[in-house]
Amino acid sequence: MVKMIVANWKANPQSQKEAEVLFNGVLKGIKNIKNAKIIICPPFPFLDVAKKFKSKKIILGAQDVSENTSGPYTGEVPPEMLTSLGVKYVIAGHSSRRAGGETDQVVNAKILNLLKFKLIPIICIGENNRDHEGAYLSFVENQIKNCLMGVTKAQMKNIILTYEPVWAISSNKTREATKEEFMEMKIFIKKVISDIYDSKIAHSIPILYGGSVSPINAKSFVEEGKADGLLVGRDSLNAKKFVDILKSLN
């Protein structure tokens, strides 16, 4: 089964030249990769890097989008602009955006805006801390319900969810997440989706894992944890490590 592997470069690298080197390094390393849908999400200034290499093996994604359409919104990047650059997927609600104050309601507005312009949202959900009483389950359930408010059954076929436990992300990691923890959350997320929509939609929606993904743990999250794909942060900035993640799933 083809797995979706998303590279989130975040605010890296520092120059267009470095972005080209990184993109080309990945491109050279994936010639024999067959079982992965590879999506690279550079920062906005480097979105046109993909055009230079014209690869059919890499799909272009973006890290964020405005909740507004084009108009008098200084500094905003609306979905129409992303579409014109060949972007197909867009990360919505990443934990670093939420840490900066982005609410579920803002994420929801962005998701609806993306769907309006036929872009596919990769929606990040996940708790900041995992308590022993299980309150994190209610937290994630509320995130899902809030973010999907107004999304129709028909639109759900274009939704991707990523479970991203904030406590396992490299920038503020307290410990590694386990494949068992992901599997538990995947089952729980599908139950929430089933309650909102129906079991058919819950069964079909892809659920990725994101949180300090590396060449060491990627295979276990996919094969044993049953992740439908991975959101890779830090190790997507090293072409060899990112390709090694892909090879481990091949």
* Catalytically annotated residue among 164, 180, 181, 224: 164
pLDDT at 146: 98
Range of the structural domain that residue 127 is part of = 3-248
Query: Average pLDDT, stretch 130-151?
Result: 94
Query: Average pLDDT, stretch 3-31?
Result: 96
* Catalytically annotated residue among 67, 94, 102, 127: 94
Quick count: other Cβ atoms within 10 Å of Cβ 28?
11
Query: Average pLDDT, stretch 217-232?
Result: 97
pLDDT at position 194 over 90: yes
pLDDT-based confidence at residue 234 (cuts at 50, 70, 90): very high
Q: Convert the pLDDT of each residue in 87-97 to its tens digit.
A: 999 999 999 99
Query: Average pLDDT, stretch 152-172?
Result: 92
pLDDT at position 174 over 90: no
Query: Average pLDDT, stretch 186-204?
Result: 97
Q: What is the pTM of this model?
A: 0.95
Q: How many distinct structural domains can be found in the chain?
A: 1
pLDDT-based confidence at residue 50 (cuts at 50, 70, 90): confident
pLDDT at 1: 72
What is the chain's length?
A: 250
- The lowest-confidence range among 35-49, 89-103, 162-176 is 162-176
pLDDT at position 171 over 90: no
Q: How far apart are CA 40 and CA 59, in angstroms?
A: 6
223 is catalytic: no
Q: CATH number of the domain that 205 lies in?
A: 3.20.20.70
Q: How far apart are CA 47 and CA 34, in angstroms?
A: 24
Query: Average pLDDT, stretch 228-238?
Result: 97
pLDDT at 149: 98
164 is catalytic: yes
